[in-house]
Structure 1
Amino acid sequence: MPPRCEWQPIETAPRDGTAVLVFHTDWDLLQVGLYYGESHTWQQPSGDLLRTPMYWMSLPSPPTLTA
């Protein structure tokens, strides 16, 4: 069974460019975000800036292909 994903405070999120799932109570959707240390900002993988999220969790593993 995969590990259970749980929301964590954004202060505990990885700051090394790892993509994670992020959430802010003002958003309608969950976002994938990365923290960029040089600019001290959260961004989408496309480079669009994100309002600083409130919570984060690891991205789930991709589906396993079966034949």
Structure 2
Amino acid sequence: MSIKSPCTSVCRMSAVSGYCEGCFRTIPEITEWSRAGDAQKRAILAEVASRRAAAGRVDGGLNSECQEAGR
């Protein structure tokens, strides 16, 4: 069974983090995905999950509060 790519079609690299703003992968992770084995894909997905969680803790609340304040 093939492991689905985390790509969200929001392909824009963050200059600050170095991660894609859509899928939270690095450029090397994106380019190696198609030839990576399942174990490597699972490792990348684990990194992506950690990055998403960290971004949610650091950015999520602040962005929501700022957006609400601006309304």
User: TM-score normalized by structure 2?
Assistant: 0.23
More strand by percentage: 1
Give the number of the structure with larger relative contact order, counting CA–CA contacts within 8 Å between residues 6 or more apart: 1
User: TM-score normalized by structure 1?
Assistant: 0.23
More helix by percentage: 2
Structure whose CA Rg is larger: 2
